[in-house]
Structure 1
Amino acid sequence: MEFEQDYIMRMIKSIVSFFIKLITGKSDTVYELPSDGLYTPCDDIFARILSLADGGKINEAENLLYANVEPDSKDYLLMGLTFYSHINEYTDNFLSDHNYSRQEIQDGIIAFAKEFTIDEMNSLSLYQTLEEML
C-alpha cells in the first residue's frame, strides 16, 4: 500500500512538472510568492490558498482557487499547478484527516488545467492522454 501511494505521489509530481515545462519551457519553475511582501492579486490568492490548505481546509482552498480562475493567465495556471503540487506533499494521514485524497489531487490537476485556453495544452488530445496516465 505504501509503495502504491509513493507511486501515485511521483506520478502527480511528474504530471505537474510536465504541465509547468509545457507552459514555461523550464523544468523547475513553480509559482512563488515575492520575498518583499509586495503581492499582486494572484499572489494574495495563492497565499490565502496555501494558508487554508496548510490549516487542513483543503477543499475550501480548492474552492477559492476555482473562484478566482483567470482562464487566459499562465500565472494563474502556474499557481494552481503549484497548489496541487504543494498538497501532494502532505502525508496520506493529513489528507485523510481533512477529507481529501490523492485521487482528488489527480482529478483536480486535470480539471484545473481544462479551465485554461493555453494552445499548447489543447493540442494532441493532451487531456485524454493525461487522464489515461493517471
Structure 2
Amino acid sequence: MENLIDMVDAGEINEAENRLYDLISATDMNSLEVAILFYSYLNDKTDDFLEANDFSRDEIKLGMENVADNFSLNSIAKMFLTDF
C-alpha cells in the first residue's frame, strides 16, 4: 500500500490505480481493505491536486464501485458512495 500512496503523492494516480487492480484479488479480503484505503486516500486529496493529475471525484467513485462489484458488495457500496 505504501508504494501506491507514494505514487499518488507523486501525481501518478492513474498508474497507481492500474497497479492496484494488478494487486487485488476478489477472493482476498485484504485486497478489499487496500482498495478502500487507496480510494479513501485519494478522496482526501484536493480537487486541485486531482485535476492537476488528470483524475476526478467521479473516477474515485467509479473505482470504488468497480471494487465493490468485484467483491459482490455493490448494494452495500451504493449506500456509502452517495457521500463519496
TM-score (normalised: structure 1) = 0.55
Establish whether residue 107 from structure 1 lines up as the match of residue 62 from structure 2: yes
Q: Distance in 1 between matches of 2:24 and 2:49?
A: 26
Q: Distance in 1 between matches of 2:21 and 2:4?
A: 10
Q: Trace 1:118-133 onto structure 2 (pairs within 5 A).
A: 121=73, 126=75, 130=78
- In structure 2, the residue matched to 1:67 is 22
Q: Distance in 2 between matches of 1:68 and 1:89?
A: 22
- In structure 1, the residue matched to 2:4 is 49
Structure 1 residue 50: Cα displacement:
0.8
- Which one-letter code corresponds to 2:78 in the other structure? L
Q: Distance in 2 between matches of 1:109 and 1:54?
A: 19
- In structure 2, the residue matched to 1:77 is 32
List structure 1 runs of 4+ shifted beyond 4 angstroms: none
Structure 1 residue 103: Cα displacement:
0.6
Larger-gyration structure (1/2): 1
- Which one-letter code corresponds to 1:52 in the other structure? M
Q: How many residues align?
A: 81
Q: Distance in 2 between matches of 1:70 and 1:108?
A: 15
Structure 1 residue 107: Cα displacement:
0.7
- RMSD value over aligned CA atoms? 1.9
Q: In structure 1, which of residues 78, 85, 94 is the aligned counterpart of residue 49 of structure 2? A: 94
Structure 1 residue 113: Cα displacement:
1.6
Structure 2: stretches of 5+ with no match in the other structure: none
Deviation digits for residues 33-81 of structure 1 (CA, Å, limit 9, x no counterpart):
xxxxxxxxxxxxx111111011111100000000111111111101100
- Which one-letter code corresponds to 1:87 in the other structure? L
**Aligned residues with identical type, % of pairs:** 33
